[in-house]
């Protein structure tokens, strides 16, 4: 394995999603960040992440060998030019942006600090872009859907579109094998529409691109979906959704509004639940930054960030700019608090580890999956960290 994607330096900017996963697993558009890098590199990549998360990637044995490897900052946005610059590195050399941000190193070192230092003075390159934080994923969303759609169209052939559907710009619609799409409105005039393998779009649904439905995803009857939106693999989507990302295996299956939000893996949003994405004053939204431990301004429109394994009860009212941690089981009357930490029970911390794992196991069984031992170890680490934080 010649290439390793590193997410250690900037993980804090992507909470709550990077608490339970490497950034490599984040799926925005048709592909995950790792898959997109591998398409440009034309090789599989290993993952180098936080110590407690490395257990999720035990198949990566790069730490055990002494070969020279290209270590790449995963927040760098790949393109042909940056790949050429990375491949031109010699052992001990590193590539930096002119602003001083690390891009890549070729090294035999296995310590992240030594990889960053490198042996030789840095080579600077300024024609490079980075994903700065989790909210920027929404800003880049449409661009990545368009890029991924072009890659798919170049490499594959779409299935035919059933005549029962009403389409606008059908040349911008791609349907994978095994997908069922009947009696829908598909408008690809403002961006492409991609329907993944073995997925279902039920009758009466209206979709405006850019839009992605992942493998075995389901859009329920009469849903209204506006771009840019990604419904990840094995997700269930219904009601009204706008400019949002469901990373994978999550449910927003009933009536209610979801807008300008990112929903993690294995989440559930109860029937009738709605989130606000703009204040009554139309003023600037403030959101909790878990990494910095402070409130910060995030613009005029922002819904919520919802960490992996979290759930909302029916008829929940979610405040503008809400931060929802990992493995939270949320219920309560009225407008809910804007900051709900890891292992929240109701609206206060109190969800116990054993109960959280048992409940997650129940949810995974519904889709034919089980909780892995590696996932349990990650959740146990985060639970003990939350307990330590409560004691201060």
pLDDT tens digits for 363-391?
Answer: 999 999 999 999 999 999 999 998 877 65
Which residues touch 134 (CB under 8 Å, ≥6 apart)? 13, 14, 15, 17, 262, 305
Stretch 220-240: mean pLDDT: 97
* Per-residue pLDDT at 66: 73
User: CA 288 to CA 321: how far, in whole Å?
Assistant: 8
Instruction: With beta carbons less than 8 A apart as the criterion, state whether 134 and 141 touch.
Output: no
pLDDT at 11: 94
**Is the pLDDT at 392 greater than 60, yes or no?**
no
153 burial (CB, 10 Å; 0-12 / 13-18 / 19+) is middle
User: Taking residues 169-198, what's their average pLDDT?
Assistant: 98
- Non-local CB neighbours of 237 within 8 Å, separated by 6+ positions: 213, 217, 218, 219, 220, 223, 225, 231, 246, 252, 253
Residue 263's contacts (CB-CB under 8 Å, 6 or more residues apart) are 244, 245, 246, 247, 250, 252, 269, 306
Identify the three-state secondary structure at position 352.
coil
Which alpha helices (H) appear in the chain, and where do they start and end? 33-41, 80-87, 112-117, 134-155, 353-366, 373-391
**Per-residue confidence band for 124, with pLDDT thresholds at 50, 70 and 90:** very high
The closest alpha carbon to 285, from 293, 295, 294, 275, belongs to 295
Segment 238-257, tens digit of pLDDT:
999 999 999 999 999 999 99
pLDDT above 90 (res 358) = yes
Q: Tell me, what's the pLDDT at 59?
A: 62
> Sorting pLDDT into bands at 50, 70 and 90, what band is 63?
low
Confidence of residue 113 (pLDDT cuts 50, 70, 90): confident
What pLDDT shows up at residue 65?
A: 72
Regarding pTM above 0.75, the answer is yes
Q: List, in sequence order, the alpha helices (H) in 29-133.
A: 33-41, 80-87, 112-117
Q: What share of residues in the chain are helix, strand, coil (percent, to 5)?
A: 25, 25, 45
Question: Mean of the per-residue pLDDT values for the chain?
Answer: 95
Cα gap 42→211, rounded to integer Å:
26
- The mean pLDDT value for 156-164 works out to 97
Q: What mean pLDDT do residues 304-313 have?
A: 98
Mean pLDDT across 303-329: 98
Kindly indicate the confidence band of residue 129, based on its pLDDT and cuts at 50, 70 and 90.
very high
* Predicted local confidence at residue 110, as pLDDT: 84
Peptide bond into 228 cis (omega under 30): yes
DSSP, collapsed to helix, strand or coil, labels residue 20 as coil
307 to each of 247, 299, 369, how far by Cα in Å? 10, 21, 19
- Phi, psi angles (nearest 5°) of residue 379: -65, -40
Burial (Cβ within 10 Å: 0-12, 13-18, ≥19) of residue 47 = buried
Domain boundaries, the chain: 3-132, 135-391
The pLDDT, as a whole number, for residue 125 is 92
Asked if 107 and 114 touch (Cβ cutoff 8 Å), the reply is yes
- Is the predicted pLDDT of residue 121 greater than 90, yes or no? no
What CA–CA distance (Å, rounded) separates 261 from 304? Answer: 5
Give me the percent of the chain exceeding a pLDDT of 70.
97
Distance CA 230, CA 82 (A): 26
Domain 135-391 class, CATH top level: mainly beta
Q: What's the CA gap between 147 and 129, in Å, rounded?
A: 15
The pLDDT of 200-219, averaged and rounded, is 98
Residue 62 is predicted with a pLDDT of 64
Question: 256 with 273: CB under 8 angstroms?
Answer: yes
Average pLDDT of the residues in 176-197: 98
What is the C-alpha separation between 176 and 264, in angstroms, rounded? 24
Give how far the C-alpha of residue 184 lies from the chain's centroid of Cα atoms, to the nearest Å: 27
């Amino acid at each position: 394995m010649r290439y390793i994607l590193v997410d250690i330096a900037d993980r804090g900017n992507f909470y709550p999603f990077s608490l339970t996963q490497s950034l490599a697993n984040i799926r925005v558009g048709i592909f995950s960040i790792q898959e997109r890098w591998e398409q440009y590199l034309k090789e599989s990549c290993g993952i180098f992440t936080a110590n407690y998360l490395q257990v999720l990637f035990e198949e990566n044995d790069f730490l055990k060998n002494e070969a020279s490897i290209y270590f790449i900052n995963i927040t760098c946005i790949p393109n042909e030019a940056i790949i050429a610059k990375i491949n031109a590195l010699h052992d001990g050399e590193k590539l930096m942006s002119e602003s001083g941000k690390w891009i890549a190193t070729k090294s035999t070192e296995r310590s992240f600090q030594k990889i960053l230092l490198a042996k030789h003075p840095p080579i600077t390159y300024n024609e490079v872009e980075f994903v700065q934080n989790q909210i920027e994923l929404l800003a880049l969303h449409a661009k990545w859907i368009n890029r991924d759609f072009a890659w798919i169209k170049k490499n594959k052939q779409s299935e035919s579109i059933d005549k029962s559907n009403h389409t606008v710009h059908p040349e911008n619609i791609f349907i994978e094998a095994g997908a069922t799409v009947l009696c829908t409105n598909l408008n690809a005039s403002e961006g492409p529409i991609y329907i993944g393998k073995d997925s279902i779009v039920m009758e009466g649904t209206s979709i405006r691109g850019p839009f992605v439905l992942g493998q075995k995803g389901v859009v329920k009857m009469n849903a209204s979906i506006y771009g840019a939106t990604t419904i990840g693999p094995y997700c269930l989507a219904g009601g009204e959704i706008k400019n949002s990302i469901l990373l994978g295996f999550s449910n927003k299956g009933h009536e209610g509004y979801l807008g300008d939000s990112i929903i993690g893996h294995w989440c559930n949003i109860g029937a009738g639940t709605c989130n606000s994405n703009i204040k009554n004053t139309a003023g600037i939204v403030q959101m909790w930054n878990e990494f910095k431990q402070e409130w910060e301004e995030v613009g005029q429109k922002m819904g919520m960030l919802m960490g992996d394994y979290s759930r909302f009860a029916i008829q929940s009212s979610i405040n503008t700019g809400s931060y929802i941690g990992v493995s939270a089981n949320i219920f309560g009357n009225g407008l809910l608090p804007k900051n709900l930490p890891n292992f929240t029970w109701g609206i206060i911390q109190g969800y116990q580890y054993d109960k959280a794992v048992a409940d997650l196991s129940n949810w995974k069984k519904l889709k034919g999956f089980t909780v892995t031992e590696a996932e349990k170890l990650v959740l146990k680490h985060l639970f003990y960290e939350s307990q330590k934080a409560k004691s201060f």
